[in-house]
Homo-oligomer: A and B are copies of this chain.
Amino acid sequence: MRGSAFFQRAFRTFREHPTFFKLLIVSTVSGGGLLTFSDASPFQGLITESSQNEGKKKKVVVLGTGWAGTSFLKNLKSSSYDVQVVSPNNFFAFTPLLPSVTNGTVEARSIVEPIRNIVKKKPYNVEFKEAECYEIDPVNKKIYCRSNQSSTLDGIEEFTVDYDVLILAMGARVNTFNTPGVEEHAHFLKPGKEILKPRLDLTLQEVGDAQRLRKSIIDCYERASLPSLSEEEKKRVMHFVVVGGGPTGVEFDKRITTFATEKFQRDGIDVKTGSMVVKVSDKDISTKERKTGEIVSVPYGVVLWSTGIATRPVVRDFMNHIGQAKRRVLATDEWLRVEGCEDVYALGDCATINQRKVMEDIAAIFRKADKTNTGALDLKDFKEVVRHICERYPQVELYLQKNKLKSFDALLKNAQGDDKKQIDIETFKKALSEVDSQMKSLPPTAQVAAQQGEYLAKCFNRKELCEKNPEGPLRFRASGRHQFHPFRYRHFGQFAPLGGEQTAAQLPGDWVSIGHSAQWLWYSVYAR
């Protein structure tokens, strides 16, 4: 009760102070699914169609209502857009508390907020459609949607929505690595299967993976208390398996890993590394030891699969259309624009930022720096573009940090070995040759998605302003400047509740906090 009341207060705080959640440090990702509905006249304009052609407003279509989409909707302040939101969920779920729904500390409805509530008093026009997009046509700027109401009484409704600007924020799905039996038998804490087929069977998929997992675990206990079960069968149903060692599992900073592993051992949880699941049947899970190649089969009651994410089929099809067929994940540039098509943005788990390599642009950068065109760099002139280089190629800064260099100057000095006044292209290349090694993809976390949503909304808010006065860094391969600053991720660390009152926290500046105190640190982030 105490816990539940706390969470409700925390969530209320979050709702009332949305910017506050920048401090919110989480690694759980979107998923789940719950039924929610705004009490306050949620169907304004239900029957009448909205005025879609009012003046020259741009029609922005947002696909998805997870962290990325909701953060975009919350932060969009400009009245110069008509916004259409299409999502199979009419709510936003505060996913960090999903595990608490499974263990029963917090009620599912306490962690969801109706989308119509979230956009209620925004200056832009907005409409919500509870449906799933199953095809994107970037040529005709159109998306194809299918309703997903589960009522037995209705057929499937299909419709199209035109867009001027499309924002993909539909998240990802669980990666089963095509392991046989996983889709059929495992539980997930985010969408495990595509839900493109109509839900006419009242299976209540919307009530959420977390709730279903809870139910399955309780079922196992109830089953184990039946008199007809053999001892062997009782042991089987009381055996719970978690596959995956991400933040959902036990893989963090090394100190955290050690702490978590030890805690799990004390709790009677057997942590098995270096083995891979090769098959899940209805009653057994088979693993292959990486070293010996041995196949071991273990009977289980419930399997939770949490091994990372994969691209949704609709996004995969879209990638094939726009020349990204060979990529594993949908790629955007640093401004979150999808590469290979116009007016489509992608954020959150459904895309990755394809960072530009310094070495690819090295000649252009040098030319830009070499104002006097002498083939050798004058440091004074060069300093003018350093800021732009650091902004355009964030890996430069990371490289400096990692090698404990104070400035770009130091980097160049390092390469030269002494303090020459002039730098030629070869020295320049040598200095920057290692920089690109610092590029890495952002993790598929709520934190990244929310920051991207906020970033994009702020760009949209300043679109007209920045068309006249671009604020971004210099274009090295072309003239002029970029319209906006590129997206830059700020890592606030991450928390992982480990059961009981134990939490592990990894904070910026290489801080690690473990145990009770971290739990209260986590709480303090919400409760003020």
Contacts and interface: CB of A to CB of B under 8 A. Distances in A.
A225 B150 contact: no
Given A37-B104, A152-B282, A49 B227 contact: yes
A104 B224 CA distance: 34
Contacts of A154: 219, 223, 237
Contacts of A153: 185, 237, 282-283, 300-302
Contact of A203 (B147, B202, B283, B300): B202
Interface stretch (A38-46, A347-355, A417-425, A471-479): A38-46
Nearest to A110: B107
Contacts of A225: 43, 46, 127-130
A8 to B, nearest CB: 8
B202 A151 contact: no
B157 A226 contact: yes
A491 interface: no
A26 to B, nearest CB: 24
Interface string A59-74: 0000000000000000
Most central of A154, A157, A222 by chain B CB within 10 Å = A222
B104 A107 contact: no
A12 to B, nearest CB: 9
Interface string A134-153: 00000000000001011111
Q: How many copies does the complex hold?
A: 2
Contact of A47 (B128, B234, B302): B234
A216 interface: yes
Given A151-B216, A206-B215, A226 B282 contact: no
B157 A46 contact: no
Given A207-B204, A212-B204, A220 B46 contact: no
Nearest to A147: B226
Contacts of A206: 215
B221 A42 contact: yes
Contacts of A212: 202, 204
Interface in A199-236: 201-204, 206-207, 211-212, 214-216, 218-229, 231, 234
Interface string A6-49: 00000000000000000000000000000101010011001101
Contacts of A37: 104, 218, 221
A62 B301 CA distance: 29
A217 to B, nearest CB: 9
A265 to B, nearest CB: 22
A262 interface: no
A306 interface: no
17 contacts: A42-B221, A43-B221, A43-B224, A46-B221, A49-B227, A130-B225, A131-B226, A147-B226, A151-B216, A151-B220, A151-B223, A152-B282, A153-B302, A157-B229, A159-B226, A204-B212, A207-B211
Given A37-B104, A47-B231, 15 more contacts: A35-B215, A37-B221, A39-B104, A107-B109, A130-B226, A147-B223, A147-B228, A149-B222, A150-B215, A151-B216, A154-B219, A157-B223, A157-B228, A158-B228, A207-B215
The 3 A-B residue pairs with the shortest CB-CB distance, nearest first, are A159-B228, A149-B219, A130-B222
